[in-house]
Amino acid sequence: MLSKAKLKYLNSLKSKKFRQKYNNFVAEGDKIAVEILESAQSTIGESQISVEAIFALPQWLERNANLIRPFQNVTTEIDNATLKKISNFQTPNQVYIILKQIDFQLNKTIIENNLTLLLDGIQDPGNLGTILRIADWFGIKNVICSQTCVELYNPKTIQSSMGAFLRIPTFRYDLVEFCHGFDNLPIYGAVLGGKNLFQSDISKKALIVIGNEGNGISDEMLKKLTHHIEIPANGDAESLNAAIATGIICAAFRNL
C-alpha cells in the first residue's frame, strides 16, 4: 500500500504544472520500461537518464529481476488496484516509472551538418510522439519545438514515441530566433502551392518546418522559409495528418 501523501504526489504528475515543478515525468508499460532501464544501465557515466522511482506488479518485478537490480532502492511492488489509481491510462500495463526530465545539450555543429525538424505549434501529444519516432527511424538528429507546441513530457507523447524521446534531443525555442543562428541552412516547409516535394532540390543539411495540425505554418515562420514544398495529392483528402506528412517528407529527404 502506498501512503496517501505518496498517492497524491504520483497523481499530481498527471498535470503539466507539477511535472514542471518537480522536473520529472512518467513512462508506463513493459516495453518502454525495459528500454529505459537498459538505456540507463548501458550509458552509466554518460547518460542523462535518471530513474527516480519504479512501481510495478510482482510478476513484472520477478520477470525483470536482473534488469531492476541496480534500481532496487527506488523500486516498489504494488498491486493492480494501486497501479490503476496512479496510471495515466484506462488500461495500466504492469509498470510505472518516474524519471527526471532529460537535459539534452544543443550541439550547433550537429545541426549545421544534418537535418533538423522544427515543429511549429504541434498540439496533439500523439502526433508529437509519433514525429519523434519518425525522426528516430530516419536518423534525424534533433527536433526543435516552438513555444506553442504540446509539452514533450505529456504521457501520451512519451507513450507514442516508443522510446524515441530517449534518443532524439528535443528542445523548446522561439523558432524565428532559432533560425537566426543558422542562416547558412536552407529552411523547407510544406505549403499549398509549393514545389512538388519529389521534384524539389533537396539538401542533406537543412531545417524542415512542420506546421500546426489545423493552421499549418505560422506567418512568422512562413517568412523564414527558403523553399516552399508540397506533397502532391492524387485523391480527394483535404489534408494529411501532421505526423504522416512528416514521415513522407523525411523519407523524401533521405531519398527512400
pLDDT one-digit tens code per residue, 185-205: 999 999 988 999 999 999 999
Q: Which CATH number fits domain 4-100: 1.20.950.20, 2.40.30.10, 3.10.450.40, 3.30.1330.30?
A: 3.30.1330.30
Q: Report the share of the chain in percent with pLDDT over 90.
A: 88
Give Cβ neighbours of residue 37 (< 8 Å, ≥ 6 apart): 51, 54, 64, 67, 68, 71, 97
Q: Which helix (H) or strand (E) holds 118?
A: strand 115-120
* pLDDT for res 256: 54
Given a cut of 90, whether residue 179 has pLDDT beyond it is yes
> CATH fold of 108-253, please?
Alpha/beta knot (3.40.1280)
End-to-end CA distance of the chain: 52
The residue-averaged pLDDT of 107-133 equals 97
Domain coordinates in residue numbering, the chain = 4-100, 108-253
What grid cell was written down for 218? 505560422
- Residue (of 105, 87, 85) closest to 96 by Cα position: 87
Q: Specify the DSSP element, H or E, that contains 53.
A: strand 51-56
- Could you give the CA distance from residue 6 to residue 119 in angstroms, rounded to a whole number? 36
Same fold, 4-100 and 108-253: no
| pLDDT tier at 43, thresholds 50, 70, 90 | low
pLDDT at 185: 97
Would you call 160 helix, strand, or coil by DSSP? helix
CA-based R_g, the chain, Å:
20
- What is the pLDDT of the chain when averaged over all its residues? 93
Measured in degrees and rounded to the nearest 5, phi and psi for residue 125 equal -60, -35
What global pTM score does this model have? 0.93
